Structure 1
Amino acid sequence: MSRRLGRGPRDRGTISTYVVLFTPTVFLLAGLLVDGGLAIHARQRAADMAEQAARAGANEIDADALRRTGRPVIDPGRARVAACALLDAYGEDVTGRSCAADEESVQVTVQLTVRPQLLSIVPGFGEFTMTSTASAHPVTSGDDG
């Protein structure tokens, strides 16, 4: 008998070939899923930080101007300090920031660096930056927007 037990006549290692070919594809798809989720989370987090900081700056109203005119006017110096101070509270999470203000609004830009977890093993696919910008202006109960 020339046939060995347990091996059919057509078993030539095709399963091994599929495993070798599809394993990198599965890891790549898992990397896209995990690291893509990290990127989406970082973008949402940067937007949230920028919005919070802009609101904190827009709360810095010049009380004397409010009493004189009846309109809320932002104190630009205090607004910039308040917005950037809120971003400083996040520590090393924020890798770049910009806080600007005038008498009508506060603009904040936040940058977060994302370090891929799985795709970092792919050459040329390293850290990337997610950036978000937000602005805020003071609103009173008489404002329509």
Structure 2
Amino acid sequence: MSSRLAGERGSMSVFTVLFSVVVFLLAGLLVDGGAAINARLRAADVAEQAARAGADTIDVDHLRATGQTRLLDEGQVCARADEVIAAHGGDDVSTGACAVEQEQTAVTVTVKVSWTAFFLGAIGFPGTEMEGTATAGPEAR
């Protein structure tokens, strides 16, 4: 009986080490995966708000003269969108792109939100940037 026990010595240590690695990876997927999803949702939310703010910068003189809505020039529209993005603060939020359509009827804003991996960073995956894009335009009533 002692020869059988001698062959099994240390098997529980191997199991514990392997099980710890699996638990660590699962925790990484849960925690870091949740952080990645949160960053993507935050980017989409900020992009929507920035696009709406940009769409609020309408050319009032053109509206009064023609009855049609159009946005101001791209510089003013994107400056307003950038104000909203900056108001959401933090080093992790940045403007990816801002463009006004050719007809000046809508603005498209892209926002990037970076996130840092906690568990998965230990195995060489530091995190990345998530991106959200939204388009909005003024509505005449």
Q: 1:71 to 1:96 in 2, by over 3 A?
A: closer
Structure with higher RCO (Cα < 8 A, 6+ apart):
2
Q: Which residue of 1 aligns with 2:118?
A: 117
TM-score normalised over the length of structure 1: 0.82
Could you report, residue by residue, the CA deviation over 1:13-68 in whole angstroms, capped at 9, with x for unpaired residues? 43333111111011001101100000000000000011100000001111111111
Structure 1 regions of 5+ residues with no counterpart? Answer: 4-8
Q: 2:123 matched to 1:126? A: no
Residues matched between the structures, number: 133
Q: Give the aligned CA root-mean-square deviation in angstroms.
A: 1.8
Does 1:70 pair with 2:67?
A: yes
Give the Å deviation of 1:130: 0.7
Paired AA for residue 79 in structure 1: V
Determine the C-alpha separation between the residues in 2 that align with 1:109 and 1:49: 9
The answer to whether the 8 Å contact 2:82/2:95 transfers is: no
Match of 1:22 in 2: 19
2:93 counterpart residue number: 94
Deviation at 1:117, TM superposition (A): 1.0
**AA aligned opposite 1:97:** G
* Residue identity in the other structure for 1:71: Q
Residue in 2 that maps onto 1:6: none
Report matched runs for 1:51-62 at 5 Å: 51-62=48-59
Is the partner of 1:109 in helix, strand or coil? strand
Letter in structure 2 aligned against 1:101: V
4+ residue segments displaced more than 4 Å:
none
Mean CA deviation greater in 103-112 or 47-56: 103-112
Percent of pairs identical after alignment?
46
Q: Relative to total residues, which structure has the larger helix share, 1 or 2?
A: 2
SS in 2 for 1:45: helix
- TM normalised by structure 2 equals 0.84
Q: Retained in 1: the 8 A contact 2:92–2:115?
A: no
Moved more, 101-110 or 43-52: 101-110
